[in-house]
Amino acid sequence: MSHAEELRETIVSMQRELDMLRLETTHSRTLLDALDALLVVSGEDDPFAGVFSVLLPIFDAALAIALACPSDHDDTMECVASNDTGLIGSLWQPDAQLQKALRGRIVATLGSHDLGACTAAGDLVPGEDQPALYLPLTQHSRRGLLLLLRESGKPGFDRSHVILARKFSLLASHALAARDAHRREIESQRLKQLTDQLTDSQHALAHRANHDQLTGLPNRAHVQELVEERLARKRPGEKLALAFIDVDDFKRVNDIYGHDVGDALLRGIADRLSKQIRANDILGRISGDEFVVILDPFRERSEIVSLVRRISELLHQPFDLDGMQVKGSGSIGVALYPVHGRSYEALRRNADTAMYRAKTSAKGSVEFFNRALGRSMSERQCREQQLRAAFAARMFRCALQAKVDIRSGRIIGFETLLRWVDAQDVVHAPDTFLPIASELGLLDGITLMQMEELLSWLPQLDQRFGKDIVYSLNISAIQASHPGFMKTLIGRIAQSGRARNFMLELTEESLIWANTFQTDSLPLLREANIGIAIDDFGTGYSSLAMLTELTVDEIKIDRSFIACIQDRPHQQSILRAIGSLGRALGIDLVAEGIETENELAWLLDNSGIGAGQGFLFHRPAFIPELLEADLPGNGPPLSAITQSIIERLTKPAA
């Protein structure tokens, strides 16, 4: 061979190598692009499905089919992806070529294999002259392959394709494995997240089960658990105190201001209490308006005394709720471990008893448990039982007290005052049982009983005192806020046909705060022509300005204004102001609790008040006694002396 020929051959072979290098560079670039495309295939798709879509352009194939072996066995393959969507899902029996590819070999043929077993391939079975390329693919234990087919008659896949295919096959398997690993990593992260969430919600659930939703404080069951744990660890000589706090008049706050304000009040209280306790103490809400504070440990009784006093003062400070100033207070009872009880239940019960004593002696006060209290508690339970029995046996009766025209002494009305006459004929005053009756839900029934008694005596009363007498009935603020009860009562009065002879005495709160009274009951009362009086005027929340907004028929000025009025200049000016306002608005004024001649004299001389009630004129009496009393025919049941006072006082000075 000549030098020239040798040189030429060298150049040609270099040229070939250069071409090969170029080809490889192109391949690598193509492969990189392909891999990128492969890796972004969505996680939900079959990864094999992603592979073929990137191969079609590289290998210039007309048809690509991704086949995968379901689980481990090789006897059937399933088409998991294809650019001919009709093939997806078709089942293939691997022939010799497919088997080879499955074992990891790259096979380039002219389609001489048998695809007869393919269930759906039909006319797509590669013909004898159709070039085919088999690329094995593995993903973990999952095996599969890609089958690329060119149209019949086209040039077959050459060596460079096989090289490229080998690289691709390897790369793709690695890429898939990497993607799997990545996915597993994500999976495990997600799993961890889920576990964390689960643990969190388990904690939240446990918290929910143990804590009160409104205030976030430990609830009844949890408080018990916590205290029992503490008690179990107590050594001789170690002490603990349990303070039981009951919010005063909480039901009334709910009735008058609504439940949102009630809730806000409870939260406010929880907040104030939690600022008073030490880190080791326990604060819990054990029912609607009951809180407990456990002081653990304490040494001196004085520590507890000063703490409960502080709490009590704090609860007395008004709460600003929703822009409204709500007055609150809490009655507190305290029991000490071990002297007043060794178990949570005993301590709670005894603290509750002490609280009840505090509430009944003076709302908002503090009481420590003692043995005598234990006895009085059983008395209260006994009283409740008696009251229920009295209700069932209808042992309540009306006493009537005259309301008189203080200038003429004439009787213009009677106030109905409730009495409980027990089996021993002892007469109980309303203050001693009304609060319990109201708590027990008996009051509405009792009021209706009173109404019936009054109606049954009406003919005799008419005969004795005339048909113009107005009978007043006391209605509590809670009753006034219950439209159902009010409707029943108003209906009963209207049905009697004597509505003009009846008047309801309501407290200032009922008129101002009980919204349902204003919206539901007031119109009914007006329509029925039943009178409305404001009772105990001056002791509640109202202001004089309120009178201009409400249409009431009568104002009953509270006894506290009238007592010794002649000696109290400050009260005198208030009474004068109420008097002129009443006159200007055309509202009748009644002075309550007139007991002395001096009081009456002052009222006659100095106020425009026209009517009065009080022991000076008449003490409340049961209806039969009232009817029998030796009173002048149509005149007032006034004692001769009272009548003479009026005469003397009203006689113009000589």
Q: Could you list the residues that contact Ca ion (CB under 5 A)?
A: 474, 505, 535-536, 592
Q: Write the DSSP string, 7-40.
A: HHHHHHHHHHHHHHHHHHHHHHHHHHHHHHHHHT
Q: How far is the CB of 255 from ligand C2E (least distance, A)?
A: 14
The answer to whether residues 317 and 333 touch, using CB atoms and an 8 Å cutoff, is: no
Listed residue (204, 201, 244) closest to 350, CA to CA: 244
Q: How far is the CB of 359 from Ca ion (least distance, A)?
A: 23
Q: How far is the CB of 562 from ligand C2E (least distance, A)?
A: 8
- Pick 474 or 542: Cβ nearer Ca ion: 474
The answer to whether residues 365 and 358 touch, using CB atoms and an 8 Å cutoff, is: yes
Q: How far is the CB of 220 from ligand C2E (least distance, A)?
A: 32
Binding partner of residue 136 among Ca ion, ligand C2E, none, CB under 5 to 8 Å per kind?
none
- Pick 256 or 307: Cβ nearer ligand C2E: 256
Q: How far is the CB of 360 from ligand C2E (least distance, A)?
A: 16
- What tokens appear for 311 in the block? 């709490």
220-233 vs 159-210: helix crossing angle, rounded to 10: 80
Q: Write the DSSP string, 544-582.
A: HHHHHHS--SEEEE-HHHHTTGGG-HHHHHHHHHHHHHH
Q: How far is the CB of 343 from ligand C2E (least distance, A)?
A: 40
Q: What is the largest CA-CA distance in the chain?
A: 171
Q: How far is the CB of 530 from ligand C2E (least distance, A)?
A: 16
- Pick 352 or 415: Cβ nearer Ca ion: 415
Phi first, then psi, for residue 417 (nearest 5°) are -120, 130
Q: How far is the CB of 396 from Ca ion (least distance, A)?
A: 16
Binding partner of residue 554 among ligand C2E, Ca ion, none, CB under 5 to 8 Å per kind?
none
- Pick 89 or 484: Cβ nearer ligand C2E: 484
- Pick 106 or 555: Cβ nearer ligand C2E: 555
The answer to whether residues 115 and 101 touch, using CB atoms and an 8 Å cutoff, is: no
- Pick 66 or 418: Cβ nearer ligand C2E: 418
- Pick 246 or 505: Cβ nearer ligand C2E: 505
- Pick 294 or 552: Cβ nearer ligand C2E: 552
CB burial readout 400-435, b (16+ within 10 A) else e: bbbbbebeebbbbbbbbbbbbeeeeeeebebeebbe
State the residues that interact with ligand C2E by CB under 6 A. Answer: 401, 417-418, 429-431, 434, 447, 450, 474-476, 505, 535-536, 592-595, 613-615, 620
- Pick 221 or 429: Cβ nearer ligand C2E: 429
Listed residue (271, 321, 266, 259) closest to 289, CA to CA: 266
User: Is residue 297 reached through a cis peptide bond, with omega within 30 degrees of 0 on the bond before it?
Assistant: yes
CA angle 640, 644, 650 (to 5 degrees): 150
- Pick 22 or 394: Cβ nearer ligand C2E: 394
Q: How far is the CB of 614 from ligand C2E (least distance, A)?
A: 3
- Pick 350 or 450: Cβ nearer ligand C2E: 450
| Alpha helices (runs of H) in 90-219, residue ranges in sequence order | 96-102, 159-210
Q: How far is the CB of 555 from Ca ion (least distance, A)?
A: 11
Listed residue (471, 474, 552) closest to 518, CA to CA: 552
CB burial readout 63-80, b (16+ within 10 A) else e: bbbbbbbeeeeeeebbbb
Listed residue (540, 533, 550) closest to 585, CA to CA: 550
CB burial readout 514-527, b (16+ within 10 A) else e: bebbeebbbebbee
Q: How far is the CB of 430 from Ca ion (least distance, A)?
A: 10
- How far from each other are the two terminal CA atoms of the chain, in whole angstroms? 171
The rounded distance, in Å, linking the Cα atoms of 562 and 581 is 17
- Pick 434 or 626: Cβ nearer ligand C2E: 434
The rounded distance, in Å, linking the Cα atoms of 294 and 244 is 9
Q: How far is the CB of 356 from Ca ion (least distance, A)?
A: 27
The rounded distance, in Å, linking the Cα atoms of 420 and 441 is 16
